[in-house]
């Protein structure tokens, strides 16, 4: 069956069900963004010009909202608790539905079992009938539940699973044996899935797929209107839960800010002002999402205190014409040095409250400064007040951008694909030296599988500096690391082609390989394809990095990826 773009969201709202505050929040969000979504779906439909798309049967099992996993989020929806995950799930549901797929949505173990075809009370046995879904979107909680209730079928079908994983899972933590041997074992990792099956909230590491979410997009007239109604002395603080306001040193920088601007907050409270929020702050209490957007439309500045990490709100602020001011973290926060990230399956170094805003957006919309340096902080505020900025939303966070990305994933990474990528690794190196001899490119004479995705023509192989991950190496060349291309450069000849001298070449399990220890002329190839990793570096190795181009504003897709 062909998938047909949908032109109405009413059926989706019915599918989502009722009875939880989190579900009401998600439905309200979908209703509020409906016009934007529908318009975006029409645009993408035109862009794809009738391209053949199969309708997929998709199960969406939101594990963290099940009672069986504790559902700690639902009761906090109206109390300032985390909403980022629900924002993302609402958007995933809307996108999959509009693309025309057939969906089932579950938020309880009972519904999950009945959709999978596990008779109640039967426990951990293989499914009696074939799995009726091409794809299952879930999270780490849901994954655990599926493993417990599908017996051996879990292994059989695991390539169909997609795991929505806010902060990401790096290959070193995903590979069970390696994680255990090398101390990368955490509460969440070691599922031995293909790393691209994990889908993140921001494009953290290209080892995972970037799923994202959306923010409201303004048309020309709205942008103009907002710009002329900005109050240049109005700041909104990022943080809807009072605990976020407990940061040390807050008095100092809030006092400086208060010299120049009127400070607003949207902090949840029950009866009286939370003691953490100073008296000079105008607190509106937790606002419904669309009212929060209205507040951002008037404000000039959105200011973060360092927590929450990597949420949606800064993108919404910037989309509504605010400047986002945030703290630089020096040293960066990570699972090695910060409680919040401890146990998360990544060693990613978080250099500020919102690294995406810092790296992908930057000035004039985003200022990342040292909050311990009062002069730097004060100077930033003065400049921000004087600077005119346009509302800005990266394409990948628009409804059309998200639809386009999910469409591409479903077309190309569908079903078993992540487990058996198109083109087999060729016996000889398919690579050739670039004209200026700085890197390798796909050789014009090498055969290529026209169905391989991303298309191999976009590959460039660069050698990293020591201390640089492939993520960083590709970034420095204006490219992005593409883990599915590692298999083309994991070959002895490639070192030779790059004029790297190898006195010895070994195949070993190490997430930094292929790499060379230059001073001792030792070359290493990767023995375990699951460990191919864009993330990771150390002082000893220069890594071979597979990079590719990307679309401006849509880093997940290469130029010829659609
Ligand atoms: C992040 O979760 P948060 O919920 O803390 O993220 P925020 O950036 O604060 O924004 C979530 C939404 O809350 C909305 C706002 C955002 O879309 O429109 N909102 C609101 O409805 N009313 C208000 O008064 C203020 C904001 C992150 F997303 C999670 O993945 C992390 O687990 C969490 C911890 O780092 O941070």
- pLDDT of the chain, 562 residues: tens digit per residue: 999 999 999 999 999 999 999 999 999 999 999 999 999 999 999 999 989 999 999 999 999 999 999 999 999 999 999 999 999 999 999 999 999 999 999 999 999 999 998 876 666 778 888 999 999 999 999 999 999 998 889 999 999 999 999 999 999 999 999 999 999 988 887 899 999 999 999 999 999 999 999 999 999 999 999 999 999 999 999 999 999 998 887 888 999 999 999 999 999 999 988 999 999 999 999 999 999 999 999 999 999 999 999 999 999 999 999 999 999 999 999 999 999 999 999 999 999 999 999 999 999 999 999 999 999 999 999 999 999 999 999 999 999 999 999 999 999 875 556 676 555 566 678 999 999 999 999 998 888 888 888 999 899 999 999 999 999 999 999 999 999 999 999 999 999 999 999 999 999 999 999 999 999 999 999 999 999 999 999 999 999 999 999 999 999 999 999 8
Tell me the C-alpha distance between 178 and 173, whole Å: 8
Residues forming a β-bridge with 235: 263, 301
Predicted pLDDT of residue 187? 81
Tell how far the Cα of 311 is from the centroid of ligand 1, in angstroms. Answer: 5
CB atoms within 10 A of CB 331: 10
Tell how far the Cα of 297 is from the centroid of ligand 1, in angstroms. Answer: 17
Residue nearest (by alpha carbon) to ligand 1 atom 21? 289
Q: Is 253 touching ligand 1 by the criterion CB < 6 Å?
A: no
Predicted pLDDT of residue 152? 87
Burial of 444 (0-12, 13-18, 19+ CB in 10 A): exposed
Helix (H) or strand (E) holding 432: strand 431-433
Tell how far the Cα of 239 is from the centroid of ligand 1, in angstroms. Answer: 8
Q: Is 320 touching ligand 1 by the criterion CB < 6 Å?
A: no
Tell me the C-alpha distance between 441 and 480, whole Å: 14
Tell me the C-alpha distance between 267 and 146, whole Å: 37
Residues forming a β-bridge with 462: 545
Q: Is 544 touching ligand 1 by the criterion CB < 6 Å?
A: no
Q: Is 292 touching ligand 1 by the criterion CB < 6 Å?
A: yes
Predicted pLDDT of residue 121? 67
Tell me the C-alpha distance between 368 and 318, whole Å: 14
Q: Say how many residues make up the chain.
A: 562
Tell me the C-alpha distance between 234 and 385, whole Å: 9
Q: Is 29 touching ligand 1 by the criterion CB < 6 Å?
A: no
Burial of 24 (0-12, 13-18, 19+ CB in 10 A): middle
Rounding to the nearest 10 degrees, give the CA dihedral for residues 282, 285, 291, 297: 30
pTM to 2 decimal places: 0.97
Predicted pLDDT of residue 164? 98
Contact, 266 vs 240, CB < 8 A?
yes
Q: Is 278 touching ligand 1 by the criterion CB < 6 Å?
A: no
Predicted pLDDT of residue 450? 81
Rg (CA), the chain: 24
Residues forming a β-bridge with 525: 507
Ramachandran bin of 192, using left for φ above 0, alpha for ψ from -120 to 50, beta for the remaining angles: left
**Closest by Cα among 251, 271, 209, 551 to 412:** 209
Q: Is 515 helix (H, G, I), strand (E, B) or coil?
A: strand
Contact, 280 vs 241, CB < 8 A?
no
Name the one residue in this structure whose structure tokens are 């989309």.
Answer: 319
Q: How far is CA 428 from CA 163, 493, 494, 522, in A?
A: 35, 8, 9, 21
Tell how far the Cα of 125 is from the centroid of ligand 1, in angstroms. Answer: 39
Predicted pLDDT of residue 37? 98
Q: Is 497 touching ligand 1 by the criterion CB < 6 Å?
A: no
Q: Is 309 touching ligand 1 by the criterion CB < 6 Å?
A: yes
Tell me the C-alpha distance between 206 and 168, whole Å: 10
């Amino acid at each position: 069956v062909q998938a047909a773009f949908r032109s109405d969201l009413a059926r989706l709202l019915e599918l989502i069900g009722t009875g939880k505050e989190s579900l009401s929040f998600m439905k309200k969000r979908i209703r509020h963004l409906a016009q934007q979504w529908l318009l975006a779906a029409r645009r993408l439909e035109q862009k794809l010009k009738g391209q053949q798309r199969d309708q997929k049967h998709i199960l969406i099992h939101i594990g963290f909202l099940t009672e069986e996993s504790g559902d700690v989020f639902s009761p906090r929806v109206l109390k300032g608790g985390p909403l980022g995950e629900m924002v993302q799930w609402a958007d995933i549901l809307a996108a999959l539905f509009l693309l025309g797929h057939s969906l089932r949505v579950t938020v309880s173990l009972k519904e999950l079992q009945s959709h999978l075809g596990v008779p109640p009370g039967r426990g951990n046995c293989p499914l009696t009938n074939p799995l009726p879904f091409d794809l299952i979107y879930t999270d780490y909680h849901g994954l655990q539940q599926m493993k417990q209730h599908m017996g051996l079928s879990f292994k059989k079908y695991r390539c169909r699973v997609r795991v929505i994983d806010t902060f990401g899972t790096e290959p070193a933590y995903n590979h069970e044996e390696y994680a255990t041997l090398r101390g990368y074992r955490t509460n969440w990792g070691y599922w031995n899935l293909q790393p691209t099956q994990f889908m993140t909230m921001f494009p953290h590491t290209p080892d995972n797929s970037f799923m994202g979410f959306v923010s409201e997009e303004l048309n020309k007239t709205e942008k103009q209107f907002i710009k002329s109604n900005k109050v240049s002395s109005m700041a909104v603080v990022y943080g809807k839960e009072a605990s976020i306001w407990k940061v040390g040193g807050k008095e100092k920088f809030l006092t400086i800010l208060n010299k120049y601007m009127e400070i607003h907050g949207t902090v949840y409270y029950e009866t009286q002002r939370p003691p953490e929020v100073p008296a000079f702050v105008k607190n509106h209490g937790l606002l419904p999402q669309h009212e929060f957007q209205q507040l951002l439309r008037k404000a000039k500045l959105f200011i973060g205190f360092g927590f929450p990490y990597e949420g949606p709100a800064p993108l919404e602020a910037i989309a509504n014409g605010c400047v986002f001011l945030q703290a630089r973290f020096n040293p960066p926060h990570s699972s090695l040095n910060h409680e919040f990230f401890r146990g998360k399956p990544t060693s990613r170094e978080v250099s500020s409250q919102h690294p995406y805003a810092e790296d992908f957006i930057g000035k004039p919309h985003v200022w990342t400064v040292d909050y311990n340096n009062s002069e730097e902080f004060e100077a930033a505020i003065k400049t921000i007040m004087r600077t005119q900025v346009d509302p800005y939303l990266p394409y990948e966070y628009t409804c059309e951008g998200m639809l386009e990305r999910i469409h591409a994933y479903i077309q190309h990474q569908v079903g078993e694909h992540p487990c058996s990528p198109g083109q087999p690794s060729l016996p000889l190196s398919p690579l050739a030296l670039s004209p200026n001899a700085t890197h390798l490119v796909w050789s014009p004479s090498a055969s290529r599988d026209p169905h391989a995705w991303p298309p191999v023509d976009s590959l460039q192989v660069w050698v990293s500096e020591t201390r640089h991950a492939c993520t960083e190496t590709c970034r420095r060349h204006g490219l992005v690391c593409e883990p599915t291309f590692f298999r083309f450069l994991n070959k002895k000849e490639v070192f030779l082609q790059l004029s790297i001298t190898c006195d010895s070449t070994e195949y070993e399990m190490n997430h930094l390989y292929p790499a060379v220890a230059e001073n001792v002329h030792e070359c290493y190839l990767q023995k375990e394809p699951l460990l191919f990793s864009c993330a990771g570096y150390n002082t000893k190795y220069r890594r071979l990095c597979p990079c590719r181009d990307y679309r401006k504003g849509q880093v997940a897709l290469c130029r010829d990826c659609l």
